[in-house]
Amino acid sequence: MTAQRDHAEIGLLVDRFFRTLDERTFTEGWADDYLTGGAGMETPLGTFHGAEAVRATEEALGRYDRTQHLVSGVVVDTDTGADRATASWNALMTHVHGDATRREHGADADPLFTVGGRFEAELRRTSGGWRLSHVTVRPIWTRGRPPVGVGS
C-alpha cells in the first residue's frame, strides 16, 4: 500500500460516510462500512462510543428534515503500510429544521441551522479497509438556531 492509495481510500471513506448520513440510509449494520466496532465520537452533543455513537448520530440527524454535508481538504497522515492513520477535513454542514423546531422557533425564523467546522479522526485499517475509530467534530461557526432540545 502506498501513502497516496491510503489517502485516496480514506478520502473516499469520508465522502461515502457523509453521503450516507445525508441520504439517511440507516439499514441494520450501516455503520460497519465506516466505523470500527468501538468507534468514539466527540460532538457538541456529547461523547459516545460503539453502538451508542451510531444511535447518537442517527438521533442527531433525525432532528432535521434534511441535511447536506460538504467536505473538503481531507488531509491524511499515515506511514506506508501502517494500520493506523489520522485525518482531518473541513465541513460545511447545512441542516433543514423539522416541523417541531419550525413551530418552536416561529414562522419568521430561519429554517436552516448551518455549521462550519473541522473534523479530526483516527482510523484503523481492517480486513474490510479503512474505518474511522475516533471522530471529533470541532464547530468553528454557526448560523441560525439549533433544533429544539439542543442548547442555544
Say whether pLDDT at 50 is over 80: yes
Residue-level pLDDT at 25 = 86
Residue-level pLDDT at 151 = 59
- Compute how many other C-beta atoms are within 10 angstroms of the C-beta atom of residue 38: 11
Cα(37)–Cα(70) distance, rounded to whole angstroms?
25
The reply to whether the predicted model has a pTM over 0.75 is yes
Cα(147)–Cα(55) distance, rounded to whole angstroms?
18
- Torsion over CA of 105, 141, 93 and 134, rounded to 10 degrees? -120
pLDDT digits (tens, 9 = 90+) for 91-101: 999 999 998 88
Say whether pLDDT at 152 is over 70: no
Confidence of residue 107 (pLDDT cuts 50, 70, 90): confident
Sheet holding 84-97, edge to edge: 46-49, 35-43, 129-143, 112-126, 84-97, 64-77
Confidence of residue 1 (pLDDT cuts 50, 70, 90): low
Q: Which domains does the chain have, with CATH numbers?
A: 3-143 (3.10.450.50)
